[in-house]
Every structure is written in structure tokens, then in C-alpha cells.
A and B are shown apart, each in its own frame.
Chain A
Amino acid sequence: MSQDLFERAAQRFDPPVGAWEGLGRRRDRKRRNQRIASAVLALIIAVVAIGGLFSSFRRGVHHEPASPTITPSNVSDLKLVWSANLDSPASVVTNNYLHVAWPFPPTVSDGVVYVETDTTLYAFDATCSAGGATCEPLWVADTGTGFSSPPTVADGVVYVTRVGRLHAFAADCGTSGVTCTSSWTADTGRAYGSPVVADGIVYDYDAVDGTVYAFKVKCATGGATCKPLWTAPTTPTTRQPPLAVARVGYFLPAVSGGIVYAVAKADDRIDRLYAFDAGTGKRLWLAETPHPHGKSIDSGNTPVVAGGLVFVDFGDTLYGFLASCQTDGGMCDPAWTWSFPGSSPGSHAMSPVVAGGVVYLKSFSSETAGQMYAFPVNCGTGGVTCNPTWTAADDGWGGVVAGGDLVISTSNSAQVLDAYPASCATGGSTCEPAWRATTPTGAPSAVIANGVVFVGTDGGVSRIGGRLYAFPAFCGTNGGECQPAWTSSKSGGWMSPPAVDGSMLFTTTGDGKLYAFGLGGAQRGLSSSQRHDAATFYIVAAILVGALLLIRGRRRAITALGSDGKAR
């Protein structure tokens, strides 16, 4: 079978007419389709890149949940990740009775750390550095001069009260250290404590002149002065110098279940608890208790609401009132009470602490200093005298914190931390601590977070060398000495108990510093530099892909000339 036979057979097929032109048309169709595909691909890449960028920056602002939280197993890995210099000691409150001043922990919200000093409100990026750098604030605000209180942050607004003036700032009001002006301000008489925000209303309490103020959270813009939504009178105080009164008791209102509670301790030796409708300011009820010794102003003056009851300590007596006691403004009798044994002119206690259905009260009076008492929230009705479930003979003045199944009693004088199980004992018997820890200097308050107990020490009388200490919450059961799992590398004056936020903790010091400690490589969200790197990555990736597409298009153009030799 020769080649000629195949040649002859092949010759029987006539080639198509206009094949060259047909090829040109096919090439044009293909190029058009490739252009469309390239455009679609570029669009997808652009969307992904923009989405990635947006996501990066959004993470920076809102801080997605992170990586490992601080637990007893990793607390020893905490390292200083950044610090900042403040213009004065941060958030110092003075207590007349103890004659000391202690720093508050900063307020952390949405990845921003807020600190108010005696002259300035600061906002720092919580992840501004991972390498121990000294950070500059995102923004600052001049809020006047006077002793400060911790800022309150709610729904993207930062509220501070400074010497009778309430300021509201947008939480995202600036970056790069700009000085922000307030969204609105309001006159709140001689209110000094932190504002309280609930259900779209911000409340401030002037315990000196005896007025509760309520403002809508969006009551004004552009720095305007706001009119209150309502005001409600309590009882003015003239018994001590007004400023001292405000500073001593640190009167804060409490808001719960649509009711605002405020304590007034007037010069008539009658302690009062007011309950107002949170929306209208109408008085719902009033409780009055005479205090013959006239010293109750030094007690904790912030009501605590739990389990349908509101608790206050009026000098030598703990009271529990039903929140729904009255609605017509009338007098309310307590559901149950308890008085310190052998009440005397020197009996005082911190505000009660409620956790897990138990009310804890710790005395700092001269006679009963360090005594701690635990009561069930629903201890009784009809004004009965309640007996404590258990008591503990503690070591000195300090505070109580409760978390999980643990109650920590702190001390600023005895330098001993006592940890009790919440269900320590029954029948009013004396409870022994599960473990104890000794700190080099006093540790008046603590924080319990994720099974770790953090304390900041006061640096002793000289107020030098205060540090943060971390103890595992379950450090023993037989009253043994617990060694710290971590001690901060930095010291400085009196260190506040930390604000714990995921894998980071923040503390302020009496010598004007703010420290941020974090787990190595486990920051929340992205730091500024990481966000910058992410942005660079996405931009470079987009440029590279764009360049590749251009090169491909160019190559096609080179090989895709029309029959006239010109590019189509």
C-alpha cells in the first residue's frame, strides 16, 4: 500500500475556504475570552486582597478571640510586651481611713487600654508592641485636673468623671497620639466616681450634694454640653469636707433590673439607700438606718445587687433589701441584716462581694480587722438577723475577691494572701485557708482570672518595688504556703492588680507607668506592625498578580497581530 494511494485519498478532501481569516476570527474570540477571564480573575484577587486588608485592620480594632488565655499552666511564660509613660500616677484613690492611695487597674475594651491620670485620659493600642517597646498612646484627652477614677467604656464611648464634669469620648476618636476633644460633656455637680452605663443611659452620682444624674448616651455631639435626662435627689453630706467625702467612700451608683441604687451618708447620722426608676428617675423606695456612731462614711458605699436583693454595708451592719421592695417611693425594710459582733464606733467594712450565691464581707475596723464573713444571698426575709455560714480570722485590712470556687482575702498590712474554698464550712464555724501566700509587701486587692490569682503589691512604706504576682488558684488544700507561679519583671511604686484580657494583662503603677505583659507569641489580634506587614503582603501580592496578568496579556499581544501586521 504505497504513499501515493494515501496521497490520492487525501487529495479528495478540499481544504476549507477562508481558513486564514477564520483563524484570525478564532484568535480574536480567544483573546476576548482570555481578557474576560483575566478581568474576572483580577476582580476576584482584588476582592480577596481588599477583604484581607479590611479583615486585618478590622481584627486590629475589634480583636478577635485569641490565642491562649492565661492559665496556671502558661502564666509563667508572661513577659513584658510593652510599657508606657504616664504624666502622673494613674487612677489613684485616697482612703481617709487607711491614709493610703492606690492605683486602679486600667480599663480594657475592644483591644484598647484606657487610663486616666490626674490630668489626662490615655488610650493605648493593647497590642502596640510585642517586643517590650515603649508605646505612645493612640490618643489622649485633657479632662481637667483632679483626682481620677477608672474610665467606663460602653458601646464605643469612653466616659470619665472629673471634678464634677462628665466627659464622653468616641473610643476611636484618633490615632498617632492626637489630642481628642469630647463628644459631649455635662455638669454633674461634685461627682467624682466612675460613671455607670446601662440600657443607653449613663449615670453619675454626686454624693456630696446628693444628686443622681442620668444622661442619654447620645445626648449631644461636637463637644456640646448635655442636659440630663433626669436628676434625682438623695441627701447631701456636710459632715466632712465634701472632697474628702467623695474620695473616702468612693460612692458609685449601681444599676440593675431597671433600678438605680445610690447610698447617701448624711450628717444626720442616718445612712440611706435610694432606689430610683432607671428610665425616669422616679423614686421607688428608700431605706434609712440610723448609725449612732457616725463613722459609717468610711465603709464601702457602693450597693451590690444579686439574686433579687441589694446589699449595702452601713458601718457596722450588713443589710439585704429586696430590689422590688416598693414602687411608690415609700420606706423599705431590710429582708435580712447582720451586725458585726460587739459593734463599736470603729466597725467598718468594705462593700460586700457577691459570688456564687454567697455574700462575703470583710472588716477593716480596728477591732475586727481582717475578719471575713460569708452569708447565703437568700439568708432570710422579714428583717431577720442572719448568721454567717462561715467566718475566717484573717490577717489584716484588705479586700475580698471571689471567682470560681475560691475566695481570696488580701491584706495590705500583713502581706499575706489567704485562699478559702467557697464552700469552706457550715454552721458559722471558722474556716481555715486552703493555702496562703506571703508577698514581700502588702497586696490589698487581687484579681482571679482563668484559675490564676493575680495581686499587685504596694511596695511597702517606701512605695518602691511593688510587683505583680500570679498564683495558681488551686495551690493546695491544707493551708500550706503557695509559691508564685510568676513574678513581674518590672517593679514600680505600687502596682495595681492587673486588668486581664485574654492572653495579656495590664497594670498601672504609683510612679506613673503602664505595663503590658503577654504570653510570648500569643497576642490577641494583630499589632500595628503586624497589620502593616499584612497590608504590605496583600498589596505586594496584588501587584505581583497584576504584573503577571499584564505580562501574559503582553505576550498574547505580541503573538496576536492582525493580518495587517498591527496589534488588535
Chain B
Amino acid sequence: MDAPVRAVPESAAAERAAMAEDQRTFEEFFRGEYDRLFRALCLVTGSRPEAEEIMQDSFLKVWERWERVALMEDPKGFLYRVAMNAFRSRYRSTARALRRTVTLTRADDAFGAVEDRDVVIHALRTLIPQQRAAVVLTSLLDYSSEEAGRMLGMKAATVRALTTRARASMRQTMEDPR
């Protein structure tokens, strides 16, 4: 996506026009990206409500910074980075909460609703969240290990290791579904 050029406002009217232009370009950006981000987050989180929550949070943060994000070389990359940060943050707090919880329950399981229809989803369910995030970023969204590592806050080598283990695990699950 080409970075939109934003004129420096010279008056209130010009500023207002620039704001409207920002609004328009962001909406275009949103409509172009939200479904793909949502689906990727569904695969990563395994929870549809959580995916929707993270997606909206991420778009809101991008929106608040749109005048700068729009000037970036890759606004989409920034969006996914924000989303993965939100995922990691939520995963950590959820993990802490789970450690304190006696009975573990899963609220809404996106995989549960579709697993019978797709072996990949069935296989993803067996992975730990970091593996799911790594494999989705590299295999679905086609990011390099370095880019995925930056998004997930880990080294590229770690991403590669996670991806390798995830693929092996998925392959095994898909070959021997039970």
C-alpha cells in the first residue's frame, strides 16, 4: 500500500480538510485489512471474541496515530505488530490468571466450531499459542522469521524453532487425527 501524502495544514479549514482526508484514508485502510487480520487472529488466538477484541484494539491504536502511521512505508506491518503485541500482552495476563484459577475453562472456542470441517484448524488447536502465532505469521501471512520475531518480541531463531516444531506437530496431527 502506497503511503498517502499528507499536506501541512495552513489554516483551520485546511486542517479540517486534512483531518477528513485522514479519516477517509484510514477507513480505506480498515476496510482493506480488517477481515484478513481478524482471520489471522482467529487462528492465533483460537477464540473468535478474543480475535475481534484484539483486532478492534489494534485498529483503534492505529487510528489514533494514523497521521504518522499513514506516512510509514508499511502501515499494514505496523498494524500486525500492534495486534501481535496485544496478543502477547493478553496471553501473558491470561496465563497469569490461569495459574491463579483452580478450574480452567475455555469460553468460546473458534476452533471447536469449525474443527470438524478443517484439519489445519484441528491441528492448530494442538499447538501452544506462541507456536500458533509463529506459524500463522510465517505460513499464512508470509512474514519472514525476522519480521515475525519483531512482531512477537522474540529472536528470529526462536521463531524458526517454533515454526518448525509447530509444523511437525501439525503434520503429525493431520496424519494421525484422533
Contacts and interface: CB of A to CB of B under 8 A. Distances in A.
Contacts, number: 95
B93 interface: no
A1 B30 contact: no
Interface string A108-146: 000000000000000000000000000000000000000
Contact of A22 (B35, B43, B56, B170): B56
B63 interface: yes
Contacts of B65: 559
Interface stretch (A13-21, A77-85, A171-179, A342-350): A13-21
B120 A5 contact: yes
Interface of A is mostly: helix
Interface in A509-568: 556, 558-563, 565, 567
A13 B48 contact: yes
Contact of B64 (A6, A20, A22, A556): A556
B60 A30 contact: yes
B121 A23 contact: no
A13 B114 contact: yes
B114 A6 contact: no
A30 B61 CA distance: 11
Given A10-B40, A12-B114, A13-B114, A3 B140 contact: yes
A6 B120 contact: yes
Interface of B is mostly: helix
B80 interface: no
Interface stretch (B15-23, B99-107, B145-153): B15-23
A218 interface: no
Contacts of B31: 20
A27 B140 CA distance: 29
Between A8, A20, A558, the greatest number of chain B beta carbons within 10 A of the residue's beta carbon is seen for A558
Contacts of B66: 559
Interface string A492-517: 00000000000000000000000000
- Looking at chain A, what size class is its interface with the partner chain? 20 to 34
A261 B135 CA distance: 101
B120 A9 contact: yes
A1 B20 contact: no
Contacts of B48: 13
A23 B62 CA distance: 11
Contact of A559 (B34, B63, B114, B139): B63
Nearest to B16: A567
Given A1-B170, A10-B43, A561-B20, A26 B60 contact: yes
Given A1-B170, A559-B22, A27 B63 contact: yes
A11 interface: yes
B64 to A, nearest CB: 5
Contacts of B22: 558-559, 561
Nearest to B59: A23
A7 interface: yes
Contacts of B64: 556, 559-560
Nearest to A20: B30
A1 B167 contact: yes
Contacts of B35: 15
Contacts of B36: 10
B24 interface: yes
Contacts of A20: 27, 30-31, 34
B159 to A, nearest CB: 16
Nearest to B53: A26
19 contacts: A3-B142, A6-B139, A6-B140, A10-B40, A10-B43, A13-B51, A15-B38, A19-B34, A19-B55, A26-B57, A27-B60, A27-B63, A559-B63, A560-B64, A561-B19, A561-B23, A563-B23, A565-B19, A567-B19
Interface of A: 1, 3, 5-13, 15-16, 19-20, 22-23, 26-27, 30, 556, 558-563, 565, 567
Complex A-B, nearest 7 residue pairs according to Cβ-Cβ distance, in ascending order: A565-B20, A6-B140, A10-B39, A9-B120, A15-B35, A561-B23, A13-B42
Interface of B: 15, 19-20, 22-24, 27, 30-31, 34-36, 38-40, 42-43, 48, 51-52, 55-57, 59-60, 63-67, 110, 114, 117-118, 120-121, 124, 135-136, 139-140, 142, 167, 170-171
